[in-house]
Amino acid sequence: MSEGAIPLVGAPLLPQPESNQFSPEIERVGHEFEAMFLAEMLAPMFEGLDTDGLGGGGMGEQIFRPMLVERYAQSIAQNGGVGVADSIMRELTRLQAAQSQPPEDADGAAR
């Protein structure tokens, strides 16, 4: 380890799910939701930027900046994200399991 490096101590902040824990469809939805969430959070950071000069500004930048922000968000989500996808996937799995349980009678007995 180099002199200036800070050693990583302890566990990650969020527990990492096992790779086979979620269905592929739930994983896709979770990552898409996280990418949309991140795009909404990143967009205001770029709204106030003034990029006059060579290759900057103008109508082209106004058109393509939202696409760039969306790609940044997708890249962040695909490379671990901020934990939103994991929460969404756990909740969707919980809801799916709750819907697949048999209904109970009024006295609490399973049918």
Asked if residue 74 belongs to a domain, the reply is yes
Residue 93 tokens read as 């799995």
Condensed to tens digits (0 to 9), the pLDDT of residues 38-78 reads 999 999 988 877 776 556 677 777 788 889 899 999 999 88
Asked if residue 38 belongs to a domain, the reply is yes
Asked if residue 13 belongs to a domain, the reply is no
Asked if residue 106 belongs to a domain, the reply is no
Asked if residue 6 belongs to a domain, the reply is no
Where are the alpha helices (H) located in 16-110, listed in sequence order?
A: 24-47, 58-78, 84-100
Asked if residue 2 belongs to a domain, the reply is no
In whole angstroms, give the CA distance from residue 57 to residue 49.
Answer: 10
Asked if residue 88 belongs to a domain, the reply is yes
Domain housing 64: 24-46+56-99
Residue 11's pLDDT is: 45
Count: domains in the chain: 1
Residue 96's pLDDT is: 87
Q: What is the mean predicted confidence (pLDDT) over 71-98?
A: 90
For the entire predicted model, the pTM comes to 0.64
